[in-house]
Amino acid sequence: MDKLAIIGGRELYGELRISGAKNSALKVMAACLLTDGKLILDEVPDLADARQLLVLLENHGVQWTREGARLTLDAGTITSTTAPYEIVRKMRASFNVLGPILAREGQAKVSLPGGCAIGARPVDLHLDAFRAMGADIELEEGYVLAEAKGGLKGAEVEFPFVSVGATEHVMMAATLAKGTTVLKNAAREPEIVDLGDCLRAMGAKVEGDGTDTITITGVDRLEGTTHEVVADRIEMGSYAMAVGAVGGELLLERGRRDLLGTAAAVMEESGLTLKEEERGLRVSRWGTPTVSTSVTTEPYPGFATDLQAQYMALMAKGDGEATIKETIFENRFMHVPELRRLGADIDVDGRTATVRGVKRLKGAPVMATDLRASMSLIIAALCAEGQTMISRVYHLDRGFEKLDDKLRSVGALIERIKDED
C-alpha cells in the first residue's frame, strides 16, 4: 500500500492543469447507457473511481476506449440489466446506472450501495422519485428490483432536501420518460449543469439546471455526442488552499471562480488573491498572514462540504480563531485527530470545529481516513516543518489525478513510496 512522504516549507510556483470533475465525469459516463450512439467524453480524469465504473459499464455491455483524457463509450446494446453487488459495493456512484437502464430497458436490478465512512447517504430519494414516475420497485436480498412496463412517465418530484446524487439520477432517467418531469428543490451544483449540457447535446430537453427547479421533457431516443467534462472545483479549491497555506502563486488551468461559489470570497478573506485569466484562475499569497475566517458548509453556491477538511488545514496556521460548521454530512471531522498530530489546535463539539491558529506545524506520521481528509493532510504537510508520512493514500487516488506529480511540478518535495509491511 502506497504512502506519501512530504517535506514541508516550500512555496508553490507554476502552472497546474485542473482535471475534469470526478463527480461530474462519473454521471456523464453513466449517461452513455441512455443511447445506442457513441458518447465521447473529453477531460475524463484517470482515477480509481472512473476505472471502477468502467468495470460496471462493461458488465452491461458497454464497449470503451481511452486515449489520454478522451473516453469513448458505446452502449449500442445493453447485454445485462443487472448491476451485481460485488461491483456496486466498491463505489456508491455505481448505483446511478439504475435510472438510465430502467428508462431505456424498462427494468433494472441493481445492488444497493455499501456504507459510507462520512455518514449515511440513503437512496430513498432516488427510489421515491422513480416510483412517482410509474416504476414498480421492490427490495430483495440487498437488490433494488425496478420495472416500468410501459416506460417511465413524467411526474412532479419535490425533494425533501437538496441531493446532488438524486437530482442527477432522476434527470438522466427523465430524459426518456413519456411527458414532462419537474424536479423541485433540485441541487444547483456546477456538476448538475455539466450533466445538463451533456444531455442536451445528446438531444434531451432539459431546462432550469443550475436553479432549484429543473424541467425535463422526455424524448423517444437520445443520440451520441462529444462533451468536455467541467473542471473539478474541489481539486481547484484544494490547490488554491495549498497556496494559501504555504505561499506562492499558481495558475490553475481551466479553473473558474464561479465554480467555487462562496468559497472564493472566503479564501480571499483569509488572505488569498484570486484572479481570472484567459487560461484559468491565478491564485497567490505573498507574505501576508492567513486570516482566520469562520465558515458553514452549505449546498452550492455555499461553501462546499468537500472543501471543509482542506480549509481546516488552511486555518490551522491562521492568525486567530475560526469555527467550521459542517451541515451536510455527519461524522466528517475524522481528519481532526490526524491534524492534531501535526500540531494543530482544534476542538470539536458536535458538528462544529473550533480552529485556533498556531505559528507552526511539525511533520509526523499520519493516516488518511477518507478522500477529502487525505487532501487536508497534504495541505498541512506542505506547510509543516520536517517530514510528514501519510499512509492509506489510496483514498487520494480515488479523487485527485496524479496529485504527487502535479505538486512536484510546482516545487513541492513529495515522494510516493511503497509500503514494505
> Is domain 2-18+231-418 given the CATH code 3.65.10.10 in the classification?
yes
Eight-class DSSP state of 238: H
Q: How many helices (H) and strands (E) does the chain have?
A: 14, 24
Alpha carbon distance 95, 115 (integer Å): 12
Please indicate whether residue 116 is annotated as part of the active site.
yes
Determine whether the annotation assigns residue 16 to a binding site.
no
Check the annotation: does 136 bind a ligand: no
Please say if the pLDDT value at position 421 is more than 60. no
Q: For residue range 183-236, what is the model confidence (pLDDT) as tens digits?
A: 999 999 999 999 999 999 999 999 999 999 999 999 999 999 999 999 999 999
Q: Are 135 and 66 in contact (CB under 8 A)?
A: no
Lowest mean pLDDT among 38-47, 84-93, 147-156, 273-282: 84-93
The pLDDT tens digits of the residues spanning 361-401 come to 999 999 988 887 889 999 999 999 999 999 998 888 888 99
Element spanning 144, H or E: strand 143-147
Tell me the pLDDT of the chain averaged across its residues. 95
pLDDT at 103: 98
What is the pLDDT averaged over residues 144-161?
96
Distances (CA, A) of 321 to 211, 345, 356: 35, 10, 4
For residue 63, the cross-strand partners are 74
> Which stretch of 87-101, 109-123, 166-180 has the lowest confidence by average pLDDT?
109-123
Q: Dihedral of CA 122/128/134/138: which sign?
A: positive
Rounded percentage of the chain residues whose pLDDT exceeds 90: 89
The reply, when asked if residue 408 is annotated as ligand binding, is no
**In Å, what is the CA distance from 174 to each residue of 70, 206, 207?**
27, 9, 12
Between 79 and 142, the higher pLDDT residue: 79
Residues 207, 215: contact at Cβ < 8 Å? yes
- Sign of the Cα torsion 103, 109, 114, 119 reads positive
Name 251's bridge partners: 15, 282
- Res. 115: pLDDT tops 60: no
Q: What is the CATH number of domain 22-228?
A: 3.65.10.10
pLDDT digits (tens, 9 = 90+) for 27-39: 999 999 999 999 9
Residue 250 counted as an annotated binding residue: no
CA distance 406 to 236: 12
Which among 190, 140, 147, 153 is positioned nearest to 23, based on CA atoms? 190
Mean pLDDT lowest among 113-117, 137-141, 207-211: 113-117
Q: Are 259 and 230 in contact (CB under 8 A)?
A: yes
Q: Any known ligand binding at 70?
A: no
Could you tell me which residues come within 8 angstroms of residue 198 by beta carbon, excluding any fewer than 6 positions away? 28, 31, 225, 227
Query: Residue 359: CB partners within 8 Å, gap ≥ 6?
Result: 317
User: What number is the average pLDDT over the span 109-132?
Assistant: 76
The reply to whether 51 sits in an annotated binding site is no
Q: Is 184 annotated as a binding residue?
A: no
pLDDT for residue 395: 85
- Measuring CA to CA, which residue among 186, 213, 216, 167 is closest to residue 24? 167
Q: What is the DSSP letter of 113?
A: P
3-state secondary structure of 183: strand
Cβ neighbours of residue 151 closer than 8 Å, sequence gap 6 or more: 103, 106, 134, 176, 177, 178
Question: Cα angle vertex 246, ends 243, 251, to 5°?
Answer: 25
pTM for this prediction: 0.94
Asked if pLDDT for residue 420 goes beyond 80, the answer is no
254 is in an annotated binding site: no
For the cut 50, the answer to whether the pLDDT of residue 114 exceeds it is yes
Given this model, what pLDDT does residue 399 score? 87
What are the residue ranges of CATH 3.65.10.10 in the chain?
2-18+231-418, 22-228
